[in-house]
Amino acid sequence: MKDFFKVMDIEAVTALRAGFPTAGEETVPVLETLDRILAEAIVSDIDLPDFRRATMDGYAVRAGATFGASDGAPACLTVRGTIRMGEVPGFAVGPGEASRISTGGMLPEGADAVVMIERTESLDDTLIEVYKSVAPGENVVEAGEDFRIGETVLDRGRRIRPQEMGVLSALGRETVRVFRRPVVGIVSTGDEIVPIHQVPSQGRIRDINTYSLAGWVRRAGGIPKIYGIVPDRPEALLATCRQASAESDMVLVSGGSSVGTRDFTIETIASLPRSEVLVHGVSISPGKPTILARVDGKPFWGLPGHVTSAMVVFTVIVRPFIHHLSGLSEASETIWTIPARITRNLPSAQGRVDYVRVRLSRDQGEWRASPVLGKSGLIHTMVKADGLVRIDRDVEGLEKDAPVEVTPL
Amino acid sequence: MKDFFKVMDIEAVTALRAGFPTAGEETVPVLETLDRILAEAIVSDIDLPDFRRATMDGYAVRAGATFGASDGAPACLTVRGTIRMGEVPGFAVGPGEASRISTGGMLPEGADAVVMIERTESLDDTLIEVYKSVAPGENVVEAGEDFRIGETVLDRGRRIRPQEMGVLSALGRETVRVFRRPVVGIVSTGDEIVPIHQVPSQGRIRDINTYSLAGWVRRAGGIPKIYGIVPDRPEALLATCRQASAESDMVLVSGGSSVGTRDFTIETIASLPRSEVLVHGVSISPGKPTILARVDGKPFWGLPGHVTSAMVVFTVIVRPFIHHLSGLSEASETIWTIPARITRNLPSAQGRVDYVRVRLSRDQGEWRASPVLGKSGLIHTMVKADGLVRIDRDVEGLEKDAPVEVTPL
C-alpha cells in the first residue's frame, strides 16, 4: 500500500471540498433557523420601514420652523394633536405646528423631523416652546432607510445569527429555505476499544473518539450518526462502512493509528463501491495519517485513532468540508482568530504545518498564548487548551513573544 | 414614576445576578452534553490509561539495551513475540529482547520504552538491529499519565466542549449531571407591532424582537418561550406577564421605548406579585431605558423596543444573567475578545459606557474594526456588524488606530 501514501499539503486537501455537492435544502420555521445556512437570497419585498418613523419621544415638526431656536430665543409652536402608535395620523403638520409623537410613531404629512421632548417646554395645552433647532430628518428614520424594496438583504450561503432572524421576521418570513445539516456517520475501530458502559480490561480503553467527534460534528453544524465500535476484521469494517456511507452525507472512521491498521483501513475504504482514494497523508502534525476518499460521491475520512490527533484533524481539515456540505459560502466562513503572543520558544519541523495547543491568558492588555505541555496523545492537553496555533511549513519555529493567531477550540 | 429612574452602572447591574438561583439540575446522556454546564465535579475513578501504552509502532524494549546505538553501531535485539492490540502480553521483555507493538498497545513486563519501527531493521524473524537509542519512557504513555484515580478532571460550572465529551466517555460516564437550561419567556408589546404573518398596515411594523431575542436566548444557552404580542393595555400586559413569570426562569418584555409606554411597562412589572424593581435605567448607550425586577425570585426584564438596543442590552447585560442561571462559573465564562484597531475617530459621551457596532477586516496581519454607519435603530446595522466595541465611561472618545477589543456578535 506504500504507493498510496502521497502526502498532500493541507491547502490542497481543503480545495478538494469543491468537488462534493451540498447536503441539499429544506424549509424550516424562522424560529429554527439559528446557525443554519441560507439556501436562498433574501430580497426585501417592502420598504422597511414603509413610513417615516420617529426615533425619539417628542414633537413632529417641520424642521424649518425650529431654525435659530435656542434657550434664549425659543421657537413657539402650536400643538396639533397626538399621534397614536400604530396609526396613520389623520392630519398634517403645517409651518408653526407640532404634534406629539412617541418613539416608533408615524410622522404626519408635512413633518420632516422630531424635536426631543427634553428640548421643549409645554406652555399650555396648545403651545410649546422649542429650545433647540432640528435639521430635516433628525430623530427620524425615513421610509426604506433600513431596507428598500427589491434590495438583497441577505446572501445565499450566509450563516443566520439572531440579528438575521430579526431581519427575516421583519420581512414576514415565517419559513426560510436553508441547507440541510449534513448527516455525518461516525465509526470507531480497534480491538483495544470498548464501549463506554464497559469497564475496560487491562490493555483496553473506552471509546473516546465517537463522543468527541460527535460533539465536533454538532458544533460544525452537522448531525452525528453513531455506528459504534467495529473490531479489526475486514468484513466487519466493510459492512459498517457500506451502511454508514449509504445513510450519511459524510463518514468519519477513526482508529487505525498503527501502520498495520492504517493499511487495513485504507484497503477497506478503497474496496467500497464507487470509491476513489484522494488523500493518503497530509503534511501536518499532528494528523499526518489522514485518509480522504470519495465514496459514492461523498467524502469518506480515515482519521487517526489518537484522540487529540483526531480532534486537530477535525478542526483544521474536516470542518471546512462540513461547512461546504452545509452550503456555507466562503465569504461567510470567517473564523475569528485571536491575535496573541506566544509565551515560550517553540521548535517546529520545516516541510509540514504544525498545530500547537495553547491556553490563553491576559497580560497588560494583550492575549498571551501558552503552549500546553504534555504528550500529544493525552486528552487532558485538549481539555486544558483554549485554542490552536498554526506554525507554517516554511517556519523553523517560533521565538518567545512572537505574534501568533489563535483559533479557539 | 420619575423616582424609579435611578440609572445604574453596568457593573452594578451585572453583580445583581448573584442574587438569583440557578435553573436547577438534570441528568442527560453524554451525547447530549455539548455546550451544557456541568452540575457535578468530574473525578476520575480510574488511572487513564491504566497500563503503559505505546504511542508509536515499533518494538517494546528495555531502554538500557539501546544505549549507545547508532547507524554505525546498531544494537542487536532478539524479537520476543508480537503484542496484540487490546491484550495483556503473556510474556516479559528481558535485556537484549524486543517485542513488536502497535500504537496503543500495552507494553509487556520489563519494557519501558518503544523504538520506532523506522529506526530498526529486521535481520530475520527473530533478530532486529536498532539504530537509535531511546530513553526510558520514550514513545510511551505511563499509567495514569492522562488522569490519575481520584483526580478532579473537570470542575462544576464548566462548559462542556467536544473534548470534555471525550473525557466523560473515557471515564465511562454514560450520563452526566448538568444544569437545566433556563426557560426564558419572551413578550413583545406595542400597538404598532403586528405578527410576522400579517402585512402591516401603514404606521405598523412586524414583530422583530421576539425572533431575534429567541435567537439570542438560544445562543446563550437558554430555551426561548414565546408569548407573542401584547397590546398596550395594562390588564392584557399584566395577565401575560403573570403567566410568563409562572412558566419561565426569566422573562424578557420588549417594547415600551417611549416614555409613556416605559412608565406603563414598569408600573405593570412593579404590580406583579412579589415584585421588586431593582434597576430602572443603565448608564449605557444604546440601552439606557432597561428595567430589571425580581419577580417571584426570578429576573424580569423590560428591554428597549428598539431592535438594535434590545440586542445590545441582551448581549452586554442579559446574557451574563442567563450564564448565571445556567450554572456557568465565572472562571468558565470567558468570552474571547478580538484585539483590533479602530479605523476612524469615534466620539463618545463621558459618564456612560458606549457600545459601537463594528465590522472586522484584515489588514497587514492585524484586525481592523470599522464602525458600522447608520442610525442606531436600523436593524441592518446589526446585520452588517461582526462585533461590539465597548468605550468606557471615563473615555471621551477613540482616535483612529486606537486599540480596541471586539466582542463577536
Residue of chain B minimizing CA distance to A46: B199
Interface of A with B in 195-214 (CB under 8 A): 196-214
pLDDT tens digits, B316-325? 999 999 999 9
pLDDT at A2: 43
Q: Shortest Cα distance from A142 to chain B (angstroms)?
A: 10
Cα B256 to its chain centre, rounded Å, is: 31
Complex-level ipTM: 0.94
Q: Which residue has the cell 437545566?
A: B180
pLDDT tens digits, B101-130? 998 899 999 999 999 999 999 999 899 999
Under 8 Å between Cβ of A32 and A151: no
Q: Shortest Cα distance from B375 to chain A (angstroms)?
A: 8
pLDDT at A232: 84
Torsional sign, CA B395, B400, B405, B408: positive
CATH architecture of B2-24+181-332: 3-Layer(aba) Sandwich (3.40)
Peptide bond into B320 cis (omega under 30): no
pLDDT tens digits, A277-322? 999 999 999 998 899 999 999 999 999 888 999 999 999 999 999 9
Q: Shortest Cα distance from A158 to chain B (angstroms)?
A: 11
Q: How confident is the model at residue B5 (pLDDT cuts 50, 70, 90)?
A: low
- Could you tell me the fold of the domain covering B53-141? Molybdopterin biosynthesis moeA protein; domain 3 (2.170.190)
pLDDT at B376: 74
In terms of Cβ atoms closer than 10 Å to its own Cβ (0-12, 13-18, 19+), residue B143 is middle
Whether pLDDT at B311 is above 80: yes
Q: Where in chain A is the domain with CATH 2.40.340.10?
A: 338-408
Give CA–CA dist B325/B183, Å, rounded: 10
Q: Shortest Cα distance from A326 to chain B (angstroms)?
A: 19
Whether pLDDT at B2 is above 60: no
CATH no., domain A2-24+180-331: 3.40.980.10
Q: Where in chain B is the domain with CATH 3.90.105.10?
A: 25-48+145-179
Instruction: Using a CB–CB cutoff of 8 Å, tell me whether B161 touches chain A.
Output: yes
Chain B positions in Cβ-Cβ contact with residue A197 (cut-off 8 Å): 172, 174
Q: How confident is the model at residue A349 (pLDDT cuts 50, 70, 90)?
A: confident
- Could you tell me the fold of the domain covering B25-48+145-179? Molybdopterin biosynthesis moea protein, domain 2 (3.90.105)
**What value does the mean pLDDT of chain B take?**
94
Chain B positions in Cβ-Cβ contact with residue A364 (cut-off 8 Å): none
pLDDT at B264: 84
Report helix angle A209-219 to B162-170, nearest 10: 160
Give CA–CA dist A8/B305, Å, rounded: 54
pLDDT tens digits, A332-346? 998 899 999 999 999
Candidates B32, B163, B257, partner chain A, best to mutate (most A CBs within 10 A): B163
- Kindly determine whether residue B379 and residue A87, on different chains, have CB atoms separated by under 8 Å: no
pLDDT tens digits, B219-259? 999 999 999 999 888 899 999 999 999 999 999 999 865 66
Q: Does domain A26-45+157-179 have CATH number 3.20.20.60?
A: no
pLDDT at A1: 41
- Kindly determine whether residue A403 and residue B365, on different chains, have CB atoms separated by under 8 Å: yes
What does the block give as the cell for B98? 524486543
pLDDT at A256: 64
Q: Radius of gyration (Cα) for chain B, nearest Å? A: 31
**What value does the mean pLDDT of chain A take?**
94
Q: Where in chain A is the domain with CATH 3.40.980.10?
A: 2-24+180-331
**Three-class SS of residue A147?**
strand
Chain B positions in Cβ-Cβ contact with residue A117 (cut-off 8 Å): 259
Q: Which residues contact A135 (CB under 8 A, 6 or more apart)?
A: A63, A113
- Could you tell me the fold of the domain covering B338-408? Beta-clip (2.40.340)
Give CA–CA dist A331/B125, Å, rounded: 57
Interface of A with B in 310-369 (CB under 8 A): 311, 334, 336-339, 360, 365-367
Whether pLDDT at A252 is above 80: yes
- Kindly determine whether residue A379 and residue B216, on different chains, have CB atoms separated by under 8 Å: no
Q: Where in chain B is the domain with CATH 2.170.190.11?
A: 53-141
Q: Where in chain A is the domain with CATH 3.90.105.10?
A: 26-45+157-179
